[in-house]
Amino acid sequence: MRLGLDAVALRSGIHPDLVRRFVALGLVDAARDATGRLWFDPSAPVALARIQRLRAALPLNYASLGLVVDLLDRISELEDALRRSNAGSRSDESWI
50-94 residue pLDDT tens: 999 999 999 999 889 999 999 999 999 999 999 999 887 755 555
Mean pLDDT, rounded, of the chain: 91
- Which pLDDT score, from 0 to 100, does residue 35 have? 96
**pLDDT at residue 45 tops 80:** yes
CB count, 10 Å around CB of 22? 24
Residue 40 confidence class, pLDDT cut points 50, 70, 90 = very high
Contact assessment for residue 39 and residue 31, using Cβ atoms and an 8 Å cutoff? yes
Q: Where do the domains of the chain lie, and which CATH numbers do they carry? A: 3-88 (1.10.1660.10)
Phi-psi map region of 88: left, alpha, beta (phi>0 left; psi -120 to 50 alpha): alpha
